[in-house]
Amino acid sequence: MTTYVLRRLVLMVPVAFLVTVGVFMLIHLTPGDPALIILGEDRSPQAIAQIHEELGLDKPLYVQYVIWIDNVVHGDWGRSITTHEPVAGAITERLPATIELGVVALIWSLLVAIPLGTIAAVRRGSVVDKL
């Protein structure tokens, strides 16, 4: 059992690395330039270059990844482009409603699934069994 747990812990490192690389690449593969979204109509080359520098988009991709990981680990998830508030604060503010929604959905699914599962087990071949 100890070997199994140790093996799982060791395998967790490359899996976490691959997941973070995947998320980072998905963020960077989204279409559009963040500088153009932030600036709106004021799209002078100097303003675009300034935004790229502020966001670190002028650095190589591997440097951006290291900075991104460091920021995520330290809780600095950046600022919202639309509201200009910290993303961590926005998540914290909306977390209670999200948890409430998840709990209510779980309760409803259990209230429906358990009786339907019981009926399906008792009445094999019925319409409920084929759901």
Q: What is the pLDDT of residue 84?
A: 86
Asked whether the beta carbons of 61 and 28 are under 8 A apart, the reply is yes
Q: How far apart (Å, rounded) are the C-alpha atoms in residues 87 and 94?
A: 11
CA-nearest of 76, 62, 53, 58 to 24 is 62
pLDDT digits (tens, 9 = 90+) for 45-96: 899 999 999 999 999 999 999 999 999 999 899 988 888 899 999 999 999 9
What is the residue extent of each domain of the chain? 84-131
The partner residues of 79 in beta bridges, in order of sequence, read 86
Asked whether the beta carbons of 67 and 59 are under 8 A apart, the reply is yes
